[in-house]
Structure 1
Amino acid sequence: MNSVSLSNELHALLQQDNVHVQLSVPQLVEKVLKRNEGVLTSTGAVRATTGTYTGRSPKDKYIVEERSSKDKIEWGSVNQPISEDTFDRLYNKVINYLKEKEEVFVFKGFAGADKKSQLPIQVINEYAWHNLFAHQLFIRPTEEELLTHEAQFTVISAPDFKADPQIDGTRSETFIIVSFERHTVLIGGTEYAGEIKKSIFSVMNYLLPENNILSMHCSANVGREGDVALFFGLSGTGKTTLSADPHRRLIGDDEHGWSQNGVFNIEGGCYAKCINLSREKEPQIFDAIRFGSVLENVVLNNESRVADYDDGTLTENTRAAYPIQAIDNIVEPSIAGHPNTIVFLTADAFGVLPPIAKLTKEQAMYHFLSGYTSKLAGTERGVTSPEATFSTCFGSPFLPLPATRYAEMLGDKISEHDAQVYLVNTGWTGGEYGVGSRMKLSYTRAMIQAALEGELNHVETVKDEIFGLNIPLHVPGVPDEVLQPSKTWSDQKAYEKKAKELADKFKQNFTKFKDVSSVIREKGGPIA
């Protein structure tokens, strides 16, 4: 079946009387409650649960192997190929399945706040609460924009449609399939709404670099003087906490593009983790969870419907989705100039990386490609001691193109705009996890503030003998002895052993990058 036939099938579905297009937030909330898809919380948010799948299903994610894109994709365990015939058969089945449903919901909107590179999208949902999620996470069109809106990419999500692996050619009943030629994402067998968000991010990670725009998995904010900062970091590194600064306006919290004009948010909302959420720790997120917001897998009091954010019974991956306008201190539209400062966040449970280090361009590209942080004991089944984890470009599950493509673009932009890059360790000091202590948040905030205000641009540094990182000798508000990890350990031999252990893990991980320049390999990584 060709793309024209697929388009005709989709058009036929969208013409049916059971299809609701662009319902308002109150209308969607009413549908959610009427259809028993979720309940209202005490703050007016919708709470839904996602059953078996409380997170992404990366082993069930595929890209269609097509003539126009197959030579560009970095095929492997992240980007698994699937045939055009397999996609077409599943597509037909899902469309016919939706035609028989009592109701189907459609959201029309955009990905990308920069009008010059904006992608018009539509999201077709079996569930009303998924459509509410899409309404809050993507960029909502004005009434005028809606009149001329023509989707260039379509997400079709049918959670209750289960694939038959024997017949449908999938690994399991679940599938997330991207077809770049057919401009379609097909999702089935999972109720986890995050697949909708991340599938469009994967699409943008393919499309934007083709237009010489760097796509990035990071948060971004802007200061009073117009200075822009980017924060890269995996889960648990403090990316959301540190980018939410009362003295700076939020551009976005998760996905951005960097074009020749500057930085822009890809999304129109936020998808925040809310395990152990409190107003004291995260006032902006806490107060954003109100009418129209969506809570995933959060445990509620049966009578009061008050959310218990400390209860991880259903999953530790509890989530809140809300429009970025629910945050007071934001930039509208979500665009700004070129970054002055770039921060790579890591939570090093080995306790050997410095709390802050200035990176050369080569080191920035090396650590960007590495994407290091630690998994802690107890966070996953079988993890009994800290484990190093590496996620390429701080977002490997969402990168269709070779990682070096993104790293080279970042390196070029760092040079062009003279951006200062820092590695910030929000993890352990004075010893590894279980021996040392977590870096004080007040110290981390002081270091980031100094970096953003340019106070570290010309400060005296000392080179770390194992990792080759340039460590500032003085940072306002931070004791000097905290800045050099070797001086915080009481047992120097234990420190050197642990540091070399982590350095070896960096080196071993980096062997997978076959086409990285020798300059980055030699000047960017550990030196011992």
Structure 2
Amino acid sequence: MVMEMGQPNPLRSTDSLDTLAAKVYLNVDADTLVEQTIERGQGKISDQGALCIETGKFTGRSPKDRFIVKDDYTKDVIDWGEVNIPISTSAFDNLLEKMQIFLQDKEVWVRNCYAGADSNYRINVTVINTLPWANLFCHHLFLRPTNEELETYKQEWTIVQIPEFLADPATDGTRQENFSIINFTKKMILIGGTAYTGEMKKGIFSVLNFILPHEHQVLPMHCSANEGAKGDTALFFGLSGTGKTTLSADVNRMLIGDDEHGWTNDTVFNFEGGCYAKCIDLSAEKEPQIFAAIKHPTLLENIQFFPGTNTVNYADAKLTENTRAAYPIDHIENAKEVSVGNIPKNIFFLTCDAYGVLPPISKLTKAQAMYHFISGYTAKVAGTEIGITEPQTTFSACFGKVFLPAHPTTYAELLGKKLDLHGDVNVWLVNTGWTAGAFGTGNRISLKYTRAMVQAAIEGQLDNATFLPHSVFGILMPTSCPNVPDEILNPKDTWADKDAYDNQANRLAQLFINNFEEYKAKASAEIISASPRIQEVKI
């Protein structure tokens, strides 16, 4: 609806919304937002019924232009550095004032929503956008209050997103014209110069990554989660290309959420009300649930059509490889209606090991779980990017380093506390990468076998298995698993040259050790004890 006079101003609660902009649309429904986007020539409708838009210059996040206000509240608790870049209170206040002035002759869309499906840890989020489709994104990705909840809604956090507003780096304290700034004291996020919607989603994820452990001892997690018929919850952590979406999508299990969750003393809860799925090379055969979810009023970002049609060519990466689909979680047929589950029974750390070293599945001790959580390892393979001629390691602490306001050991130690509190949680390391050699000589582990191993772990079929420790990493490898050949379970057995395998294992271990040096000073002795150990190799 168009805003009436006299309601609270999302920017300054003492004012009324009519002073915010020339016209304000408050809590507009999804159908109307689609219509408003089409009316303004900002999008097209696909033959699946999705609204297709382009985000302009930025088709992904800009991590080097994300700042946190450094003030008395944050100066001693944020892990300042290349991830959490400080900016002054005065710079924030100056930009806020400029953005308020900028909005005065504009039309804006305001949405009251929230993040956190567990009401005990929910934060209210009021979003102000200058584009109707950006507000549609917020409708889909954040949780949607009922009409009754809106009547008593109290503003808490505010996001102001103005893609048309450009900063002046010379006077505004930014690196360039685009920026995303979190102010924990004023509970605001300012976003300018970029229309990429993921900045809003990840901004609130970063906020919860600080608030939940700092104030509630709740572990925030960059993972997907699903639930079995018996109420057992499984978590899937993994960087891009490890199979997180593929392995967590299971028609026999209810989806709790696909990306961001919190772990309390008795629940796992989704932060979001929707999904923001990559859709490059999407097909009904490869990802049937996501493909079916793309319908009215899904928002499709930066896709291309087949010439002369409104049929999406999901293989076309002309604008970006990071094409995205944003839709409410109920577009997934087996999504859980209230996105809250029990504490996890099984946790899977997914890695695509292009070195062919790590077992296809292994069980982790508590110390190993904390160590591998901090490491967040996967590998890029040769040929995927210009200049990569051999496997390249990628480490991202807690499987989401760029979203961690606190030091990674904060989250790893909290994971350890959760594992102590709930002693029957199984943590598994699953390698979806290579075996029988590294990339180029070995072969990719069969998805059929990976699915069988994950299923066996979830169904408890590995609870009484015999395990052998890996000679370098110490992780526990099962000697047998239903529907999986025994000979692939120990990776060394798959290599023709055993000495070559040992050398490769030592090489990967050294990369882990080198990466961990960044965190070692603040890590506990227990975490350090799980470091891999270089073994002597026969010459």
Give me the TM-score of the superposition, normalised by structure 2.
Answer: 0.95
Matched, 1:499 2:505: yes
- SS for the counterpart of 1:342 is strand
Q: Give the superposition deviation at 1:15.
A: 5.1
Check whether the contact 1:420–1:457 (CA below 8 A) recurs between aligned residues: no
Q: Give the superposition deviation at 1:35.
A: 1.3
Matches within 5 A, 1:33-432: 33-101=38-106, 103-209=107-213, 210-418=215-423, 419-432=425-438
Q: Give the superposition deviation at 1:526.
A: 4.1
- SS for the counterpart of 1:345 is strand
Q: What letter matches 1:516 in structure 2? A: A
Alignment partners' CA distance in 2, 1:26 and 1:192 = 21
Q: Give the superposition deviation at 1:10.
A: 7.3
Cα distance per residue 1:175-219 (max 9 Å; x no partner): 000000111000011111111100000011111112111111000
Q: Give the superposition deviation at 1:527.
A: 5.3
Check whether the contact 1:231–1:342 (CA below 8 A) recurs between aligned residues: yes
Indicate which of 512, 516, 528 corresponds to 2:518. Answer: 512
Q: Give the superposition deviation at 1:333.
A: 0.5
Bigger drift between 214-223 and 13-22 goes to 13-22
Q: Give the superposition deviation at 1:384.
A: 2.8
Matched, 1:448 2:445: no
Check whether the contact 1:365–1:524 (CA below 8 A) recurs between aligned residues: no
Alignment partners' CA distance in 2, 1:177 and 1:16 = 22
- SS for the counterpart of 1:512 is helix
Q: What letter matches 2:66 in structure 1? A: K
Q: Give the superposition deviation at 1:145.
A: 0.6
Check whether the contact 2:21–2:105 (CA below 8 A) recurs between aligned residues: no
Alignment partners' CA distance in 1, 2:504 and 2:155 = 52
Q: Residues 188 and 379 from structure 1, CA distance in 2 versus in 1: closer, same or farther, beyond 3 angstroms? A: farther
Alignment partners' CA distance in 1, 2:387 and 2:24 = 46
Check whether the contact 1:63–1:79 (CA below 8 A) recurs between aligned residues: yes
Equivalences, count: 524
Indicate which of 476, 488, 494 corresponds to 2:494. Answer: 488
Cα RMSD for the two superposed structures: 1.6
Aligned to 2:30: 25
Q: Give the superposition deviation at 1:377.
A: 2.7
Q: What letter matches 2:529 in structure 1? A: E
Q: Give the superposition deviation at 1:381.
A: 3.8
Alignment partners' CA distance in 2, 1:289 and 1:99 = 36
Check whether the contact 2:46–2:310 (CA below 8 A) recurs between aligned residues: yes
Cα distance per residue 1:14-62 (max 9 Å; x no partner): 6545110111111000111111221111111011112221111000000
Check whether the contact 1:340–1:417 (CA below 8 A) recurs between aligned residues: no
Give me the TM-score of the superposition, normalised by structure 1.
Answer: 0.97
Alignment partners' CA distance in 1, 2:406 and 2:433 = 30
- SS for the counterpart of 1:192 is coil
Check whether the contact 1:9–1:95 (CA below 8 A) recurs between aligned residues: no
Matched, 1:468 2:447: no
Q: Residues 267 and 506 from structure 1, CA distance in 2 versus in 1: closer, same or farther, beyond 3 angstroms? A: same
Alignment partners' CA distance in 2, 1:240 and 1:509 = 26
Alignment partners' CA distance in 2, 1:111 and 1:5 = 17
Q: What letter matches 2:310 in structure 1? A: R
- SS for the counterpart of 1:231 is strand
Check whether the contact 1:39–1:48 (CA below 8 A) recurs between aligned residues: yes
Q: Give the superposition deviation at 1:313.
A: 1.6
Alignment partners' CA distance in 1, 2:534 and 2:477 = 15
Bigger drift between 215-224 and 308-317 goes to 308-317
Q: Residues 38 and 5 from structure 1, CA distance in 2 versus in 1: closer, same or farther, beyond 3 angstroms? A: closer
Q: Give the superposition deviation at 1:99.
A: 1.6
Give the unaligned 5+ runs of structure 1.
Answer: none
- SS for the counterpart of 2:518 is coil
Alignment partners' CA distance in 1, 2:159 and 2:260 = 18
Identity within the alignment, %: 52
Check whether the contact 1:363–1:525 (CA below 8 A) recurs between aligned residues: no
Cα distance per residue 1:122-164 (max 9 Å; x no partner): 1111111111011000101111011111121011101111111
Alignment partners' CA distance in 2, 1:332 and 1:5 = 30
Check whether the contact 1:393–1:407 (CA below 8 A) recurs between aligned residues: yes
Q: Residues 417 and 42 from structure 1, CA distance in 2 versus in 1: closer, same or farther, beyond 3 angstroms? A: same
Q: Give the superposition deviation at 1:332.
A: 1.7
Q: What letter matches 2:432 in structure 1? A: T
Check whether the contact 2:263–2:269 (CA below 8 A) recurs between aligned residues: yes
- SS for the counterpart of 1:176 is strand
Check whether the contact 2:20–2:104 (CA below 8 A) recurs between aligned residues: no
Q: Residues 524 and 39 from structure 1, CA distance in 2 versus in 1: closer, same or farther, beyond 3 angstroms? A: same
Q: What letter matches 1:482 in structure 2? A: I
Matched, 1:521 2:528: yes
- SS for the counterpart of 2:71 is coil
Q: Give the superposition deviation at 1:63.
A: 0.1
Alignment partners' CA distance in 1, 2:57 and 2:386 = 17
Alignment partners' CA distance in 1, 2:88 and 2:98 = 16
Check whether the contact 1:123–1:134 (CA below 8 A) recurs between aligned residues: yes
Check whether the contact 1:201–1:255 (CA below 8 A) recurs between aligned residues: yes
Bigger drift between 510-519 and 351-360 goes to 510-519
Bigger drift between 406-415 and 352-361 goes to 406-415
Matched, 1:438 2:444: yes
Alignment partners' CA distance in 1, 2:246 and 2:168 = 42
Alignment partners' CA distance in 2, 1:95 and 1:380 = 42
Alignment partners' CA distance in 2, 1:413 and 1:327 = 30
